[in-house]
Amino acid sequence: MAAEKMNGSDAAHHQHRPLHLPYLSVILAVAVLVATVNGGEFSDSSAIISRFQQYLRINTAHPEPNYHKAADFIVSVANSLSLESQILEFVKGKPLVLLKWPGRDSSLPSVLLNSHTDVVPAEHEKWAHAPFDAHLDPSSGHIYARGSQDMKCVGLQYLEAIRKLQNSGFRPLRTVYLSFVPDEEIGGFDGAKKFADSEVFKKMNVGVVLDEGLASPTENYRLFYAERCPWWLVIKATGAPGHGAKLYDNTAMENLLKSIESVRRFRAAQFDLVKAGLKAEGEVISVNMVFLKAGTPSPSGFVMNLQPSEAQAGFDIRVPPNMDAVSLERRIAEEWAPASRNMTFELGQFKHKVSVFDKFGKPILTSSDSSNPWWVLLEEAIRNANGKLGKPEIFPASTDARYFRELGLPAIGFSPMSNTPILLHDHNEFLNKDEYLKGIDIYESIIKGYASYVEHLKDGASRDEL
Ligand SMILES: CSCC[C@H](NC(C)=O)C(=O)O
Ligand SMILES: [Zn+2]
Ligand SMILES: [Zn+2]
């Protein structure tokens, strides 16, 4: 009552006084001070955004990623949170930063939050804002940068979420690790693969891994439980060379074009399933022609009146984990590159190095139902933080998650970006600052849920059996 009275009389008192400029500045200064002390919302979020911009400004694009600068930055943020940190260099010049937030019970399997530090190159001149300026558009709130979606956002959101949890007094029961790995964009062989196969990793006793997902143009976040396997196919045709004016059969170009037509029919049929809503993007085989190589070079371009004796085409093919790989390989040999049409083919390194089958021939998937408590916890945590979810999906491309799934670990792909166009690897990649901040709250809820999770021992089961 006393306070009300005081405010009332104070307000009345002010009505009769003109507002002079020096007086106004004092009021403003007090207002800012109150806002800063009172929860510090304003200053917190601008510091958070500025840290994100700092990370985005480090050019870690292939082929010459500045990995050491990124590692130093991550370690400096980790130090501000008193996290344990170490730099692992499985391959010289490719540092992997491993951070640890020790849990109260070190015997429990730990939680691993993975992100990659590298980004794909950008065609600078085709961007509205330079890709390593991390420009924040004041009217839209979009932050433009290569890596803003893929996936520097996620790496730093993990850390910001930990900062918030620490400020709230939360202490994890399970140990939380964070890995910042190199080389995901070029296959992860010198990064996540070597890490997953290492003694260091074994000792971490990881129980679940979170890795990258994709932006969602709708309000629903996307969760990924598996991924397609890349098959990088090159088909080669040979044929009789001859005059450019002559019509004859069995030219290299004609042989190659017949194959391309056949591939196109297959592609269209797969795409139709997606367009009709019968299958999700990750559930069909995608085939995209990525290069064509043929012709006889001349100083002015190509010799025009000569039909070449060789022609090649390259395809990026992605195979879902539950597909019949044998029949696809047969289709390639019999329809797309038949020896009867003077054709040969090569399946690139990934088909052999990246498997979607375990050693028993079963597809490598993470359960996305109630049999997997980590899945259930993740969904709960996202919903608790007011996030909406779509149906579990197969990631259409490849991520480092496959190396952890290959070990038999549950690994879930998730990047908290709703109402955001999918711009990974595209020009003008951006993430809105409010979406970034919302993602931190989502991770705060997830990390809290994961790091506090106590599994309920089944009757007669030992902890090892779960
Ligand atoms: C095959 S290794 C390269 C990894 C890359 N990942 C993404 C997410 O674009 C890809 O699928 O092409
Ligand atoms: Zn990525
Ligand atoms: Zn990528």
Residue 395 CA: nearest ligand 1 atom is 8
> Rounded to whole angstroms, what are the CA distances from 130 to 127, 169, 258, 430?
6, 40, 42, 12
Q: Which residues of the chain have a pLDDT value below 50? A: 1-21, 24, 27-28, 30-41, 457-466
State which residues have CB under 5 angstroms from ligand 2, the bound ion.
150-151, 212
User: What six digits make up the tokens of 131?
Assistant: 């890709």
Ramachandran angles phi, psi of 297, nearest 5°: -65, 150
- Tell me the C-alpha distance between 257 and 449, whole Å: 55
Question: What is Dmax (Cα atoms) for the chain?
Answer: 103
116 is in an annotated binding site: yes
Calpha distance 437→447 (Å, rounded): 15
Strands (E), 17-118: 84-88, 96-101, 110-116
Q: Which helix (H) or strand (E) holds 180?
A: strand 176-181
Query: Cα(218) to centroid of ligand 3, in Å?
Result: 21
Report CA(326)–ligand 1 centroid distance (Å): 23
Pair of tokens at residue 388: 């909406």
Q: Is the pTM of this model over 0.90?
A: no
Check residue 207 and give its pLDDT. Answer: 98
Mapped onto helix, strand or coil, the DSSP state of residue 43 is: helix
Looking at ligand 1, which residue's alpha carbon is closest to its atom 10?
A: 398
ipTM topping 0.90: yes
For ligand 1, the distance from its centroid to the CA atom of residue 425, given in whole angstroms, is 10
Atom of ligand 1 nearest to the CA of 187: 2
User: Which two tokens mark 260?
Assistant: 């391309």
pLDDT the model gives residue 9: 34
AA identity, residue 93:
G
The whole-number pLDDT of residue 322 equals: 83
Q: Percent of the chain having pLDDT more than 90?
A: 82
Tens of pLDDT, residue by residue over 402-436, are: 999 999 999 999 999 999 999 999 999 999 999 99
Test site for ligand 1: of 399, 414, 417, most ligand atoms within 8 A of the Cβ:
399
Q: What pLDDT score does 395 carry?
A: 97
CB-based pocket (< 6 A), ligand 1: 185, 187, 230, 350, 397-399
> What pLDDT does residue 6 have?
31
Residue 261: active-site member: no
- Pick the catalytic residue: 160, 183, 184, 283? 184
